[in-house]
């Protein structure tokens, strides 16, 4: 054994741990042998007192003996509600040694996102996405690990780590195969709950190995007893030690230490006395033992337990209050009694079980009073309301307006560091105080905003109650109504979402506020595929937006909605572009309508970019969506917003014929969407529809099918309108896979649905061309009628892409010189359009129809440049046969 303790004998927690110690030795040796060696993850679990902390302490010693850098952190029962506390503690050795300039260099682009979470920079005014903060922390630790090799990270009592740290830990565990880092984790099973339990399970499942520590055997208990008390300890006494402690190493050590301090002989006749002694070493007996040390000591240890497993003498003394000199004497007595010991940043309890027993032994009123003093002491030390929030949460509600203010401030600080769950807990506690009437509605509003993205149903409840109270000013009330409608729509209650908007709009006079509500109404209707009176809605929207100049954001929003509606209906593209331009300020998004501004739903910006894209202004669309990706990454929004930004940027690449770039961006979009939720979300369908369309253009039908299967891209379709039209894409996929009948049925259903809604844009929804080609031999007259009608709509829309595609389809139904002439005309239009893939297709098809080898070769070059493998193969076959 490797450690001893006063009184003789090897340290109990390491008895019968030869296998675990060998694993640690081997993992540390592998890490230190080669900088290129992949990382490792060891997880040790077991009941309280089973020896996890001792084993992790030995891992620290082993690693330091090999000159490895060792960073250690530990969760705490009373501070597990503090976001990022454990990861901050873990990284402290590295961070405190850096200058501000070095810190900014190490963190790079993550400085403003991960810096506040780590407590090394003040948070900004935004609200970073928790996933982005997690990604930033992973990247920061990855960078530090490459500098500090060999590095061992040790996290003890992970079941008491804060949820945000556990989320990072689970994500970091996935990266260890690529990093020269050894991560060692100890936890107690069954203690964590909710998302924390999920994250901890993910860490455990990634471990190599995950070990459950077992209690000491009777033989080991006997060996420990004799090593501590002497070889004269008889077998029945040793057996009784094992029986009363259950073989728990910590309890065995404490019991034997008390035997040493007493005059009990280690013989069979002392069994009863041994049992009495064991009771005094735990639970109520432990508390009584502390009481015997004196009133000051008992008060001091209670204050320490409130602060957590690690604490400073000064802070504990301030809770009582107690002179520092007295507090220091109390700490010395507690150390002598094996209650506390010196830690790296102050004092800590010898074992978390002691802290827990002391904490739970306090009467509720005493415990609450201590938490109140702790909250005051933490804030008085300048650490802010967020740091004090675990104590604020424990204070008994008492109609205290100052406490409500502190909890609201703590929530704001938590949101600014990317910890919305912590913010929610603070605001929910503020409601129980309760707030004063003039503030109550604002707290409900803030709580509704904090839960909008995670629990729409909860948001609905809070915002409804907020709107039923006085206290929200006119602007805040309108904002609350807009957010309520958004939550209802996300909760699949579109009708109710529209109703609350209309009711509030009816209360308001004409002006900006009313226009905002009307814009939100039209937006929700506009993206809903099942609205009953789409043509009537379009007329009302056109009448409302017609005279607007874009003087404020409400007017700009209505102009964007009108442009998107006109684009989907296939109205004149120049008018669509003019509407979009009027919605901008000097060619850019207006202040308050930026990608990370929250007053307006980000779907509005997606509509603007899409309107430009399908009106052949792909340069403007690309600029907008590139700006979106950059804005979301800079702001730390790496969830659904960034996923959709990548999707729409990818689809602009698809429209421009950059099929490889499109596929890369769209797959990244789906990767990000998968982290938000596995399949079934509208963003999955959006990105999947775009990716399937791109893969079909590339000629990769089987890959497209795999995407469709993975994301359930099959009837019944979701109620949201997709760009491009999902039903059209699905019909084309079925035809490409040879499922002709199913494909025809899908396209016929698409035709019926889109015609009823008055959506005639043949680029957004090219169902008519696919249906016409599929019917060309079976029903040529119907095919010709379909193309004729589509060509009329295309010419009405007026873009080179729309007209060129219509003419190309007509050419495919014609023959002889007429087909050649139509293909030539299609080439002319599509060469002038920004859509390189469609131009390549027209070139190849013209060359084949005209027998023009140069045209086919030109088309082949374009196809290869686009990444259109199927089209390139078709051209190559044609050239090979010439």
Condensed to tens digits (0 to 9), the pLDDT of residues 206-240 reads 887 788 999 989 998 898 889 888 898 899 999 99
Cα 494 to chain centroid distance, Å, stands at 26
Q: In sequence order, what are the residues at sequence separation of 6 or more whose Cβ sits closer than 8 angstroms to the Cβ of residue 282?
A: 251, 254, 353, 357
pLDDT at 285 over 90: no
Residue 283's pLDDT is what? 52
CB atoms < 10 A from the CB of 212, how many?
11
Digit-coded pLDDT (tens) for 56-75: 999 999 999 999 999 999 88
- Average the pLDDT over 657-677 and give the result: 93
pLDDT digits (tens, 9 = 90+) for 826-853: 999 999 999 999 999 999 999 999 999 9
CB 575 within 8 A of CB 536: no
Residue where the block lists tokens 């004409």: 510
Given 196, 212, 228, the domain boundary residue is 212
For the domain that residue 358 is a member of, what is the CATH number? 1.10.10.10
- Structural domain includes residue 495: no
In a domain, 131, yes or no: yes
pLDDT tens profile 514-568: 999 999 988 888 776 555 677 888 899 999 999 999 999 999 999 999 999 999 9
Is 300 in the same domain as 357?
A: yes
Distance separating alpha carbons of residues 462 and 320, to the nearest angstrom: 39
Helix (H) or strand (E) holding 767: helix 767-775
Q: Which residue bears the tokens 């060129």? A: 804
pLDDT beyond 60 at 415: yes
- Shared domain for 175 and 298, answered yes or no, is no
502-511 long-range contacts (CB < 8 A, ≥24 apart) are: 504/477, 504/478, 508/478
Q: Is 332 inside a domain boundary?
A: yes
188 and 248 both lie in a single domain: no
Q: What is the pLDDT of residues 677-719, one digit of tens each?
A: 766 677 888 899 999 999 999 999 999 999 999 998 876 654 5
Report CA Rg, the chain. 34
Domain match, 143 and 235 both: no
Domain count across the chain: 4
By the 8 A CB rule, do 406 and 413 touch? no
The answer to the question of residue 400 being in a domain is no
DSSP assigned state of 176: G
Determine, yes or no, domain membership for 76. Answer: yes
What's the whole-number mean pLDDT along residues 791-806?
A: 97
**Arithmetic mean of pLDDT, 266-293:** 77
Q: How many CA atoms lie within 13 A of 133 on its CB side?
A: 27
pLDDT score of 730 more than 80? yes
Residues 272 and 290 in one domain: no
- Taking only the tens place, the pLDDT of each residue in 476-486 is 999 999 999 98
- Can you tell me the distance from the alpha carbon of 554 to that of 517, in angstroms, rounded to the nearest whole number? 8
Give, in degrees to the nearest 5, the angle at Cα 527 between 525 and 532: 45
Task: Provide the CATH number for the domain around residue 100.
Answer: 3.40.50.300
- In sequence order, what DSSP letters do the residues of 106-169 get, joined into one string? HHGGGHHHHHHHHTSS---SS---HHHHHHHHHHHHHHHHHHS-SEEEEEESGGGS-HHHHHHH
Cα(485)–Cα(477) distance, integer angstroms: 12
- Residues 186 and 251 placed together within one structural domain of the fold: no
> Which of 41-55, 87-101, 596-610, 782-796 is the most confident on average?
782-796
200 lies in the same domain as 317: no
How far, in Å, are 168, 453, 850 from residue 83 at the CA level?
11, 19, 69
Give the pLDDT confidence score for residue 719 in this predicted structure. 55
For 214, half-sphere exposure in the C-beta direction (CA atoms, 13 angstrom radius) is 10
CA dihedral 799, 802, 803, 809 (to 10 degrees): 170
Tell whether 194 and 227 lie within a shared domain.
no
User: Beta partners for 181?
Assistant: 151
How buried is residue 879: exposed, middle or buried, by Cβ count under 10 Å (0-12/13-18/19+)?
Answer: middle
Do both 269 and 314 map to the same domain?
no
Peptide bond into 716 cis (omega under 30): yes
Whether residue 33 is contained in a domain is answered as yes
With respect to residue 382, please indicate whether it lies within any of the assigned structural domains: no
Tokens (6 digits) for 151: 């590095």
For 569-601, the pLDDT digits (tens) are 999 999 999 999 999 999 999 999 999 888 888
Mean pLDDT of the residues in the chain: 89
Query: What pLDDT sits at residue 147?
Result: 83
Q: Are residues 201 and 225 in the same domain?
A: no
> Which H or E element spans position 153?
strand 151-156
Please indicate, yes or no, whether residues 24 and 116 belong to a single structural domain of this protein: yes
> In this structure, what token pair is assigned to residue 514?
């009313």
Q: Provide CB contacts within 8 A for 274, sequence distance 6+.
A: 237, 240, 241, 244, 255, 259, 264
The CA distance from 288 to 337, in Å, is: 13
Number of Cβ within 10 Å of residue 619's Cβ equals: 13
Domain's final residue, options 190, 212, 234: 212
Residue 848 lies in a domain: yes
Instruction: Give the per-residue pLDDT at 11.
Output: 53
DSSP one-letter code for 341: E
| pLDDT at residue number 7 | 37
Residue with tokens 């005014």: 125
Together in a domain, 166 and 180: yes
- Which pLDDT score is estimated for 495? 84
What number is the average pLDDT over the span 324-352?
86
Confidence band, pLDDT 50/70/90 cuts, at residue 10:
very low
Query: In which residue are the tokens 């982005």 written?
Result: 132
Task: Return d(Cα 274, Cα 253) in angstroms, integer.
Answer: 13
Which residue in 242, 235, 272, 236 sits closest to 256, CA to CA?
Answer: 242
Dihedral angle of Cα 579, 583, 589, 592, to the nearest 10 degrees: -150
Compute, in degrees rounded to 10, the torsion defined by CA atoms 137, 138, 143, 147. Answer: 100
Q: Which of 212, 228, 255 marks a domain boundary? A: 212
Looking only at the bridges linking them, the beta strands covering 340-343 and 346-349 are antiparallel
Q: What are phi and psi of 799, to 5 degrees?
A: -85, 155
Domain that holds residue 294: 286-362
Nearest to 5 by CA among 265, 250, 231: 250
Pairing mode of beta strands 310-311, 346-349: antiparallel
């Amino acid at each position: 054994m490797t450690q001893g303790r006063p009184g003789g004998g090897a340290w109990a927690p390491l008895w019968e741990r030869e296998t675990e110690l060998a694993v640690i030795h081997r993992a540390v040796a592998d890490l230190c042998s080669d900088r290129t060696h992949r990382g490792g993850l060891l997880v040790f679990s077991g009941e309280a007192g089973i020896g996890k902390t001792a084993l992790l302490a030995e891992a620290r010693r082993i690693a330091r003996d090999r000159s490895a850098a060792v960073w250690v952190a530990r969760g705490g029962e009373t501070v597990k509600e503090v976001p990022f506390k454990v990861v901050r503690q873990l990284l402290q050795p590295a961070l405190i040694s850096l200058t501000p300039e070095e810190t900014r260099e190490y963190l790079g682009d993550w400085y403003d996102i991960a810096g506040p979470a780590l407590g090394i920079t003040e948070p900004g005014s935004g609200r970073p996405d928790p996933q982005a903060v997690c990604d930033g922390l992973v990247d920061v630790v990855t960078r530090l690990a490459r500098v500090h090799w060999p590095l061992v990270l040790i996290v003890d009592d992970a079941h008491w780590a804060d949820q945000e740290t556990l989320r990072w830990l689970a994500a970091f565990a996935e990266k260890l195969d690529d990093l020269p880092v050894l991560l060692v984790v100890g936890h107690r099973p069954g203690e964590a709950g909710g998302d924390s339990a999920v994250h901890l399970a993910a860490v455990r499942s990634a471990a190599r190995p995950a070990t459950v520590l077992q209690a000491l055997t009777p033989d080991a208990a006997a060996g420990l007893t004799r090593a501590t008390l002497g070889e004269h300890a008889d077998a029945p006494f040793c057996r009784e030690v094992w029986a009363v402690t259950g073989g728990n190493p910590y309890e065995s050590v404490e019991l034997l230490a008390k035997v040493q301090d007493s005059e009990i002989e280690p013989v069979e006749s002392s069994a009863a006395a041994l049992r009495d002694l064991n009771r005094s070493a735990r639970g109520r007996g432990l508390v009584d033992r502390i009481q015997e040390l004196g009133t000051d000591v008992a008060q001091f240890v209670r204050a320490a337990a409130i602060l957590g497993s690690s604490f400073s003498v000064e802070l504990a003394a301030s809770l009582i209050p107690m002179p520092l000199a007295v507090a220091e004497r109390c700490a010395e007595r507690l150390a002598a009694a094996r209650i506390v010991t010196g830690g790296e940043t102050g004092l800590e309890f010898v074992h978390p079980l002691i802290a827990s027993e002391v904490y739970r032994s306090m009467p509720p009123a005493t415990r609450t009073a201590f938490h109140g003093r702790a909250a005051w002491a933490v804030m008085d030390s300048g650490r802010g309301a967020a740091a004090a929030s675990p104590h604020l949460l424990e204070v008994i509600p008492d109609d205290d307006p100052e406490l409500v203010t502190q909890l609201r401030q703590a929530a704001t600080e938590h949101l600014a560091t990317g910890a919305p769950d912590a913010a929610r807990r603070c605001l929910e506690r503020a409601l129980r105080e309760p707030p004063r009437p003039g503030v109550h509605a604002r707290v409900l509003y803030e709580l509704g905003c904090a839960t909008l993205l995670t629990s729409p149903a909860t948001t609905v409840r809070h915002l409804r109650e907020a709107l039923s109270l006085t206290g929200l000013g006119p602007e805040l009330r309108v904002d609350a109504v807009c957010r309520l409608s958004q939550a209802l729509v996300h909760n699949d209650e579109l009708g109710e979402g529209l109703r609350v908007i209309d009711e509030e709009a009816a209360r308001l006079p004409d002006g900006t506020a009313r226009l905002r509500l009307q814009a939100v109404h039209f937006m929700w209707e506009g993206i809903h595929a099942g609205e009953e009176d789409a043509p009537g809605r379009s007329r009302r929207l056109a009448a409302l937006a017609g005279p607007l100049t874009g003087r404020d954001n409400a007017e700009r929003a209505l102009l964007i909605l009108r442009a998107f509606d006109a684009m989907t209906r296939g109205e004149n593209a120049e008018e669509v572009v003019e509407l979009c331009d009027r919605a901008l300020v000097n060619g850019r998004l207006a202040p308050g309508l930026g990608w990370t501004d929250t007053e307006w739903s980000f779907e509005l910006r997606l509509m603007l970019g899409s309107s430009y894209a399908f009106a052949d202004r792909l340069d403007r669309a690309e600029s907008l969506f590139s700006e979106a990706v950059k804005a979301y990454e800079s702001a730390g929004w790496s969830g659904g917003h960034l996923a959709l930004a990548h999707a729409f940027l990818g689809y602009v690449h698809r429209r421009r014929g950059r099929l490889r770039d499109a596929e890369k961006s769209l797959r990244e979009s789906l990767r990000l969407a998968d982290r938000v939720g596995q399949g079934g979300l509208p963003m999955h369908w959006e990105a999947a529809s775009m990716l399937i369309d791109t893969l079909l253009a590339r000629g990769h039908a089987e890959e497209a099918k795999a995407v469709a299967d993975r994301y359930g891209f099959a009837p019944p379709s979701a109620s949201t309108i997709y760009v491009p039209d999902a039903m059209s894409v699905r019909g084309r996929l079925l035809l490409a896979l040879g499922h002709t009948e199913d494909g025809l049925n899908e396209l016929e259903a698409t035709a019926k649905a889109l015609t009823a809604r008055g959506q005639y844009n043949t680029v957004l929804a090219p169902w008519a061309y696919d249906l016409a080609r599929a019917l060309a031999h079976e029903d040529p007259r119907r095919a010709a009628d379909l193309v004729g009608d589509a060509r009329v709509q295309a010419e009405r829309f007026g873009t080179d892409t729309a007209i060129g595609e219509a003419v190309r389809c007509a050419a495919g139904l014609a023959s002889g010189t007429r087909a050649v002439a139509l293909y030539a005309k299609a080439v002319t239009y599509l060469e002038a359009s920004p859509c390189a893939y469609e131009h390549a297709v027209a070139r190849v098809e013209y060359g084949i129809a005209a027998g023009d080898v140069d045209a086919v070769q030109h088309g082949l070059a374009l196809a290869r440049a686009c990444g259109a493998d199927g089209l390139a193969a078709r051209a190559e076959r044609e050239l090979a046969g010439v």
